[in-house]
Amino acid sequence: MKKIFGSATEALDGLLHDGMFIAAGGFGLCGIPELLLDAIKDAGTKDLTFASNNAGVDDFGIGILLQTKQVKKMLSSYVGENAEFMRQYLSGELELEFNPQGTLAERMRAGGAGIPGFYTKTGVGTVIAEGKEVKEFNGQDYILEEGIFADLSIIKAWKADETGNLMFRKTARNFNVPAAKCGKVCVVEVEEIVPTGSLNPDAIHLPGIYVNRIIQGDHEKRIEQRTVREG
């Protein structure tokens, strides 16, 4: 199977459609699939639902799709850096399903493992539990959370070999691994593609069996909030 494509637009060809559900990796602006998000913007695909830890910032990451009103709903754990997100949510233009951060990661992981739901104590007795099944285990209440099964996964990795085995760089691994596993198709952007066999098998973070398409590109790597000491 051909996995390497020449551009983000080529890698997404035939995969995008209005109303689809996309799982996106990244945390803040760290490890986000910025090139694939740009290509989705250019494609004009609309009414999208995104499962992502956050929505980027106003002019970067998923934030660029909020600007163009291409996102209908977000499943997220943190949205505090995006003024346009806040404006659309408060005005009723954008649906939001808040998830505790660990719950969101586990929902993605569960979907990737074919698990339709699981029980967790996180959120019991809060608005997170509203409308969800509650079950008692050993005298304590747990709420039912559903696994995430997305139409498409878009993630960013550091290195890939030609068969799609991936390595992530330090904290940029974040949500990328669970997001990759819960989509029907996974498209990855990387900084470098290396020959098959050149990666140490013990250092591979995500096996190529989960990866369908790969692109290599240059990345901006913005810092969300830069803090420096006085000289």
Q: Which one-letter DSSP state was computed for residue 55?
A: -
Amino acid 226: pLDDT:
79
In a domain, 120, yes or no: yes
In a domain, 52, yes or no: yes
The CATH number given to whatever domain includes residue 151 is: 3.40.1080.10
Q: How confident is the model at residue 222 (pLDDT cuts 50, 70, 90)?
A: confident
In a domain, 3, yes or no: no
Judge contact between 141 and 135, C-beta under 8 A.
yes
Query: Which residue is listed with tokens 């995008």?
Result: 16
pLDDT tens string 137-155: 999 999 999 999 999 999 9
In a domain, 98, yes or no: yes
Q: How confident is the model at residue 132 (pLDDT cuts 50, 70, 90)?
A: very high
User: How far, in Å, CA of 128 to CA of 140, rounded?
Assistant: 17
In a domain, 73, yes or no: yes
Supply the range of the domain harboring residue 163: 8-216
* Nearest partner of 210 among 164, 167, 149, judged by Cα: 164
User: How far, in Å, CA of 113 to CA of 182, rounded?
Assistant: 8
User: How far, in Å, CA of 22 to CA of 42, rounded?
Assistant: 16
Backbone angles phi, psi at 32, to 5 degrees: -90, 150
In a domain, 29, yes or no: yes
**Residues in contact with 79: Cβ distance below 8 Å, sequence separation at least 6, in sequence order:** 54, 55, 85, 86, 89, 96
In a domain, 202, yes or no: yes
In a domain, 161, yes or no: yes
Amino acid 79: pLDDT:
81
User: How far, in Å, CA of 85 to CA of 74, rounded?
Assistant: 10
Instruction: Work out the mean pLDDT of the chain and round it to a whole number.
Output: 95
As for how many domains the chain has, the answer is 1
